[in-house]
Structure 1
Amino acid sequence: PAHSGKGVGRALCEYSVEWARTSGFRAMQFNAVVETNVHAVKLYESIGFEVIGTFPEGFHHPTEGYVGLHIMHKAL
């Protein structure tokens, strides 16, 4: 929480994408993004990831019960 909203997550994601691209990878994929984590989903979408599937009720959220897990993909 102390670093929330300061761009740390974005910087890490952008660095990872660039490293993967220059290392010859053709794509990146997150296999388990909790659908109720809207900040993460929006961040990943803003750098070019898209939801390619969702496992319904794949995660037991402590306050929201069972929620879906997104698979997010980005071609490099």
Structure 2
Amino acid sequence: MWLVPDPGRAVVATDGTGTVLGTANMYANRSGNGSHIASASYMVDPLHQGRGVGRALCADSLAWARAAGFRAMVFNAVVETNLHAVRLYESLGFTVLGTVPDGFRHPEKGYVGLHMMHRPL
């Protein structure tokens, strides 16, 4: 369970039977003078990937961020080889601001880049 301080939010996506499909955690990216930028993290059950769960969670977090008065959303650490996530975020208006070379140690691919992605709200 995530405990998110205000104005943050945590959601759990379920199907009609109560099966957990995925989760989202939304929050200010930084405190203080950086608190006008939102961030979020997501997890989707591998059995339910490719069915729109991640898109729905991301769309929900963007709507939350707009309603909460954030000016933009940033993802600080998107693994560059996670092409499904990168393409999803790009389709929702995010752009790659930069990539930390070898910023992530992938268990199968070794060291890979870590993107920072941004989208104005």
Counterpart of 1:37 (choices 79, 82, 86) is 82
1:10-25 map, 5 Å: 10-25=55-70
Q: Identify unmatched segments of 5+ residues in structure 2.
A: 1-45
> Equivalent residue of 2:73, what SS?
strand
Which of structure 1's runs of 4+ aligned residues deviate more than 2 A?
none
| Counterpart check, 1:4 vs 2:49 | yes
How many percent identity over aligned positions? 70
Question: Structure 1: how far apart are the matches of 2:78 and 2:49?
Answer: 18
Normalising by structure 2, we get a TM-score of 0.62
> Amino acid of the residue matched to residue 116 of structure 2?
I
Counterpart of 2:73 (choices 19, 25, 28) is 28
Q: Identify unmatched segments of 5+ residues in structure 1.
A: none
After superposition, the CA RMSD in angstroms is 0.6
Normalising by structure 1, we get a TM-score of 0.97
Higher RCO (Cα < 8 Å, 6 or more apart): 1
Structure exhibiting the larger radius of gyration computed from Cα positions: 2
Question: Structure 2: how far apart are the matches of 1:45 and 1:75?
Answer: 12
Aligned residues: 76
* CA apart distance, 1:53: 0.6
1:31-66 C-alpha deviation (Å, 9 max, x unpaired): 000000000000000001100010000001111110
Greater per-residue helix proportion? 1
